[in-house]
Amino acid sequence: KKNPVKAAADKVVEKVQDAVDPGNDIPGAPGPVPPPVDEPTEPKGPLPPKPDQRGPDTHSPTGQETGVPQKKVAQDGAYLTTAQGARLYDTDHSLKAGARGPVLLQDHHLREKITHFDHERIPERVVHARGAAAHGVFRAYGTASTVSKAAFLAKGVETPVFVRFSTVLGSRGSADTVRDTRGFATKFHTEEGVFDLVGNNIPVFFIQDAIKFPDVIHAGKPHPDREIPQAQSAHDTFWDFVTLHTEATHHTLWNMSDRGIPRSYRMMEGFGVHTFRLVDAEGGSTLVKFHWKPKLGVHSLVWEEAQITAGVDPDFHRRDLADAIEAGAFPQWELGIQTFPDTPEQNFTGIDLLDPTKIVPEELAPVQPIGLLTLNANPSNYFAETEQVAFHVGHLVPGIDVTNDPLLQGRLFSYLDTQLTRLGGPNFGQLPINRTHAPVNDMLRDGMHQTAVHRGVAPYRPNSLDGGCPFLAGEHTGAFVEVPAEVAASVKERKAPTSFDDHYSQPRLFWLSLTPTEREHIIAAYTFELGKCYEQAIKERALVVLANIDSELCAQVAAGLGLPVPPGEARLEDPAPSPALSQLGQTWPLDGRIIGIVADTDADLDGVRTVREAVLDAGMVPLVIAPAGGTIGPEGNPVTAQRTFATARSVEFDAVLIAGAPAPGADAYGARDAKVDDAATVTGTDSRVLLLVAEAFRHGKAIGTWADGDSVLASAGVPAEAPGVVVADTGATALGAVTELLGTHRVWERFTPRI
């Protein structure tokens, strides 16, 4: 029987819906859906990016438009429909035999909704599962044209790109700031097809042969019995492997250095790791190593910061990248190459170019800039873009080829293979984020998730039915032709060249190239990670490895572990240090740096306003930290709090300013209202503020105070005369001094290395 109350209610709903019935007349309603774009099936000019391939346009939170505003609504059209387009009148109640009765199997909407939901997840990447990505553009300087005929490297050519950064070991939901290598994978949508540069933020790798990849990853991933620890290398199986397998020493040392805990994806170098081969228009070839150099410099967290951040804001790097792009502070990297003659030895000054555990110091082969990458748009949909993007080192374009590096050779197999499981079949190239912008005219047919409707009857060659089409291209009509590199007559064997046996000279080179502060961080990292191992034998073996890098490093870690120092092996002559490997000693731009400004109702709020403006003018982000949410100050002219004492933690800020109260009599913000006047001054006594200031100090961050803000320093145990602590009269002076300090990222004098 019809429920009269419900019937009346339904009528009302219908009426309301009719009233707002929109179609596309409602201002702001989405326009007509564009017609689908056919997959190209015959040779023709390059297609522009399809509507669903274009990166979204962004706008900044300050309201400054950086393009067409991003579409904010999830659906097109006015009515909710099924996947088949039938309009729905109710999506909240299952179809039942009476309001209190059982659910009917015939409820097709319920079944469709739940079934689709049940299958929303795909397998996460077996490595690099956690990532964050952005769209951008690569603009070539043309400087690489002498060594590569790749069209996208010609002067002034702009190529759309999609870049995905990642950690390696953790699962999709793991924390961003763990100690790990970071992935830096770039998909160039060139007019000659897709080129993927699938690199890392560390220039060397743990292993020299792809066949060992499952071993190193099984060792680094959580233990198979309890599946712990998550996204960590501080456990027995990792150290068991890397100490038994000493070719991993160089990469492990980089992981234990500051490079293992980057401050931001925007402040990381990227490396192609392997040696690649570029081919010029005449067929001449050059060996190269690829480098990404961040415009903001290379900066890291300190270990305690990384640990706190993993709990306080596990999405720290993801948020940082997205916020910067949304605010219009587009991160940039220069792509550079080190070039080497393509000789049969593939060796440069004694360094085997096929060994991925070796770098070539920049002092021996300078990095020559060839183009500029700018990330300027956030993905619109995490799953469709960041999750479904599929990189492959075999996605190459004419002018870029591979070498015999045995690690690279194995990767050429793995990246295609892994997508079959992850993306469910061989047609992942048709997904919008992966689809090339170049015309596709392949003879690949059918398969899971085929979305192209191929026409004709002759997807084979040779054929007569299609008039012999399509034809094969040649070197001068844009074909990808492998470099006819000579392969020396040899026997079939499972072996590595003897040059691959040198596992220590380059770890020593790295160690010798760092400043005492950076070395101190390495000592602390080894002491922490090995201290987390249970097996004594593993720790002892690790010390033997360290003794072969440096006796002082070994001695300090041994002291931390409470173990005897093992003897080191006799070493050959020390390599010349490579200063380019150190992160310290230079001054960098401050774009997007975050300045916390602690203020309460008694503070010099005029000073706070001036400082906020100046911070914004300098391209940085001011965040006012107040006792509670809302505003502080007089009703007519309040200062808005972006953080509160409860929500702010030091790790979020690159520098901290403390606004003190103006001198008695000098009313800084004019007529105060009585309510505000009554509010107690809490800054100097609030334990959360004291913790914030003490942590900022411990982490080497610049701290500035003005008016009587310096009283907080004493309560927090921070000496006012310590390096990088500024006690000023006005906010502007305090900010000026702090800004100067920020250029070097941290106040390095505060760290006192043991050696």
Please identify which of the residues 109, 200, 250, 427 carries the catalytic annotation.
200
**What pairing do the DSSP bridges indicate for beta strands 368-377 and 400-401?**
unpaired
Nearer to ligand HDE, 400 or 725 (CB): 400
318's enclosing H/E stretch is helix 316-326
One of 128, 235, 299, 745 is an active-site residue; which one?
128
Q: Does 174 bind ligand HDE (CB under 6 A)?
A: no
Given the complex with ligand HDE, which of 132 and 590 has the nearer CB atom? 132
Q: Are strands 368-377 and 332-341 parallel, antiparallel or unpaired?
A: antiparallel
Contacts of 174 by beta carbon, 8 Å cutoff, 6+ apart: 129, 130, 167, 230, 231, 314
CA–CA distance from 30 to each of 36, 59, 721 (Å)? Answer: 16, 18, 60
Shortest Å, Cβ 5 to ligand HDE: 54
Q: Which position among 164, 187, 437, 519 is part of the footprint of ligand HDE (CB under 6 A)?
A: 164
| Alpha carbon distance 363, 183 (integer Å) | 25
Residue with tokens 């300045």: 595
Residue 127 binds ligand HDE (CB under 6 A): yes
Any contact of residue 273 with ligand HDE (CB under 6 A)? yes
Q: Which is nearer to ligand HDE, 290 or 706 (CB)?
A: 290
Closest to 41 in 3D by CA, of 542, 407, 470, 343: 470
318 binds ligand HDE (CB under 6 A): no
Instruction: Note whether 653 binds ligand HDE by CB under 6 A.
Output: no
Span of 76-84, 198-206, 471-479, 621-629 interacting with ligand HDE by CB under 6 A: 198-206
DSSP assignment of 183-199: EEEEEEEETTEEEEEEE
CA dist 348 → 12, 359, 408 (Å): 80, 10, 19
Residue 198 interacts with ligand HDE (CB under 6 A): yes or no: yes
Contact string (CB under 6 A) for ligand HDE, positions 677-706, x = contact: ------------------------------
Compose the 531-550 pattern: x for residues touching ligand HDE by CB under 6 A, - for all others: --------------------
Reduced DSSP (H G I as helix, E B as strand, rest coil) percent helix, strand, coil of the chain, to 5: 30, 15, 55
Residue 335 in the binding site for ligand HDE (CB under 6 A): no
Decide: is 627 part of the binding site for ligand HDE (CB under 6 A).
no
Least distance (Å) between residue 571 CB and ligand HDE: 27
Whether 548 is catalytic is no
Please identify the residue of the shown chain whose CB is closest to the bound ligand HDE: 183
Q: Is 128 a catalytic residue?
A: yes
Region from 125-133, 170-178, 438-446, 462-470 binding ligand HDE, contact rule CB under 6 A: 125-133
| Token representation of residue 663 | 């001198």
Q: Which residues contact 282 (CB under 8 A, 6 or more apart)?
A: none
| Closest CB to ligand HDE among residues 510, 645 | 510
Question: How many of the chain's residues bind ligand HDE (CB under 6 A)?
Answer: 25
Q: Least separation, in Å, of the C-beta of 412 and ligand HDE?
A: 9
The DSSP 8-state label assigned to residue 387 in this structure reads I
DSSP for residue 75: -
Q: DSSP character for 577?
A: P
Of all helices (H) and strands (E), which one includes residue 513? helix 505-513
Nearer residue to ligand HDE within complex by CB, 385 or 591: 385
CA distances 450 to 37, 82, 428, 597, Å, are 15, 22, 9, 55
In this chain, which stretch among 97-105, 194-202, 326-334, 369-377 interacts with ligand HDE, using CB under 6 A? Answer: 194-202
Of 381 and 730, CB closest to ligand HDE: 381
Token pair 């699962």 is at which residue? 171
Please report whether residue 134 would count as binding ligand HDE according to CB under 6 A: no
- Minimum CB distance to ligand HDE, residue 286 (Å): 20
Residue numbers 366-425 binding ligand HDE by CB under 6 A: 389-391, 407, 410-411, 414-415, 418
Query: Rounded to an integer, what is the distance from CA 639 to the centroid of its chain?
Result: 34
Query: Which residues have CB under 8 Å from 596's CB, separation 6+?
Result: 623, 625, 643, 648, 650, 652, 653, 655, 656, 657, 692
Segment 226-245, which members bind ligand HDE (CB under 6 A)?
none
CB of 348 to ligand HDE, least distance (A): 19
Pick 59 or 422: Cβ nearer ligand HDE = 422
Q: Which residues bind ligand HDE (CB under 6 A)?
A: 125-128, 131, 164, 166, 183, 185, 198-200, 205, 210, 213, 273, 389-391, 407, 410-411, 414-415, 418
- Catalytic residue numbers read 128, 200
